[in-house]
Amino acid sequence: MATTVLDHWVSGAAFAGASTRTAPVYDPARGVVQREVRLASTADVDHAVKAAAAAFPAWSEASWNKRQAVLFSFREILNARKEELAAILTSEHGKVTPDALGEIARGIEVVEFACGIPHLAKGEYTENASTGVDVYSVRQALGVVGIISPFNFPAMVPMWFFPIAIALGNTVVLKPSEKDPSASIWMAEAMKEAGLPDGVLNVVHGDKEAVDALLTHPEVASISFVGSTPIAKYVYETGTASGKRVQALGGAKNHMLVLPDADLDLVADSAVNAGFGSAGERCMAISVVVAVGDIADDLIPKIVERMATLKVGDGTRGCDMGPLITKEHRDKVAGYLDVAATDGAEIVVDGRGIAVDGEADGFWLGPTLIDKVPTTSDVYTHEIFGPVLSVVRVATYEEGLALINGSPYGNGTAIFTNDGGAARRFQREATVGMIGINVPIPVPVGYYSFGGWKDSLFGDTKAYGPDAIHFFTRQKAITSRWLDPSHGGINLGFPTN
């Protein structure tokens, strides 16, 4: 059977482009290539940017109501056909159906936020800043904005950005992950069906060549990137050197600090959910449990007991956890078990070679638990991005906090305790962008912004929420005087009030 090739989407239609390069898109639960995806050349990206630039004047002039109407319709389509999109996510990413639906629900939250954007994008007005002089501000769209997204949330992460950018009057070139690119095409088609004019949302598939073309294109005003830290740093530096505003969200190593007074059943449930959901391929996954005092001895059996109930397999078969994204990634993650053994850690549950409800060639690795992980080990210092949960034992709250604050990452963290004073202290002292208190994955709701600190975010602007209004617009301040009888006169001094 001939393998189909997924096209780009430009000016409201499929676009093949001139590049002949392609990449395989796997079905990770079967371990087979299910289609190829085109990898855009610089010229292909230029074609998409030109289409977005051509659509910008009319779209930015469209009324707020007209733009909102598209987003309201898009929301209806998402709600009515979410199973269709979820099936695409499961087929190319591997995540289980309920998790795919959860991803879509969190994307819809941002669409809903974008539906209310006229209120949030309003300017300010000061009457009589000087006598007879009014000062006011407006926010205007940037132009063509670039979005580059990772493999792990093929629907939600693009939706963190494009609904808001579009609602504010920008036009978009989206470069999704080449590993699971079909969700972006589905969403672009749905936006067209929702009434979006051609050229406002374009999708180019590709790898470094396409990313570089976006980062340096003179007609691209901004870049919103989500991915691993080394690429986020590169994107930030290259994009800003080209004069663009850039928000680049990077990798993570999220710790869960467990105080001795915590409810250990809640902690065990939370550690398992946040450690192994989506096979640990979430930037907000918990990868390290930091157990204070000697609670690890009581906590670990509770975690192990819950891990034994997890069903791993094909995401469409009612399993709890699916495969990893590629064979290379699965092998890399599994390699950390060898590192753990060499470094003297204790492998409590080994996910290699587990029985799965799925095809033998799928990219499987079962839930894995490693205790007594030395903080000098790569198992602790690297972002593993798989179903591997580490336990680090510390004596005090201070020692645990120092570990968290010593990490180069600062995406999310959580404290589990029944002591309000300790929780309050933690929320203030942790140098991390998103904090959970008895909540393991503290992804902020759509009307707060999402983003980490330190190497988890380059730039000063988080994703969605209020930060997005700032990021996707330029503010203009206007000082206005209409002639009245008191006007006139020469005065070369600097204007004062």
Q: Which residues are catalytic?
A: 283
Of 132, 130, 128, nearest to 486 (Cα)? 132
Q: How far is the CB of 445 from ligand NAD (least distance, A)?
A: 15
The counts of H helices and E strands in the chain are 16, 23
Contact between 226 and 260 under an 8 Å Cβ cutoff? The reply is no
- Dihedral sign for Cα atoms in the order 92, 95, 96, 99: negative
Diameter of the chain measured on Cα atoms? 88
Q: How far is the CB of 465 from ligand NAD (least distance, A)?
A: 13
Task: Give CA–CA dist 121/214, Å, rounded.
Answer: 26
Q: Which residues bind ligand NAD (CB under 6 A)?
A: 148-153, 157, 175, 177-178, 207-208, 211, 226-228, 231, 249-252, 283, 383, 385, 411, 452, 456
Q: How far is the CB of 205 from ligand NAD (least distance, A)?
A: 9
CA angle 242, 248, 253 (to 5 degrees): 150
Contacts of 8 (CB under 8 A, 6+ apart): 14, 15, 16, 17, 38, 40, 44, 48, 202, 203, 204, 205
Of residues 362 and 452, the one with the C-beta less far from ligand NAD? 452
Q: Decide: helix, strand or coil at residue 122.
A: coil
Task: Give CA–CA dist 414/356, Å, rounded.
Answer: 31
Task: Give CA–CA dist 288/270, Å, rounded.
Answer: 12
Contacts of 379 (CB under 8 A, 6+ apart): 336, 339, 340, 343, 345, 370, 373, 388, 390
Q: How far is the CB of 229 from ligand NAD (least distance, A)?
A: 6
Of residues 351 and 452, the one with the C-beta less far from ligand NAD? 452
Of residues 226 and 415, the one with the C-beta less far from ligand NAD? 226
Q: How far is the CB of 231 from ligand NAD (least distance, A)?
A: 4
CA angle 203, 204, 205 (to 5 degrees): 120
Burial of 435 (0-12, 13-18, 19+ CB in 10 A): middle
Q: How far is the CB of 206 from ligand NAD (least distance, A)?
A: 7
Of residues 148 and 256, the one with the C-beta less far from ligand NAD? 148
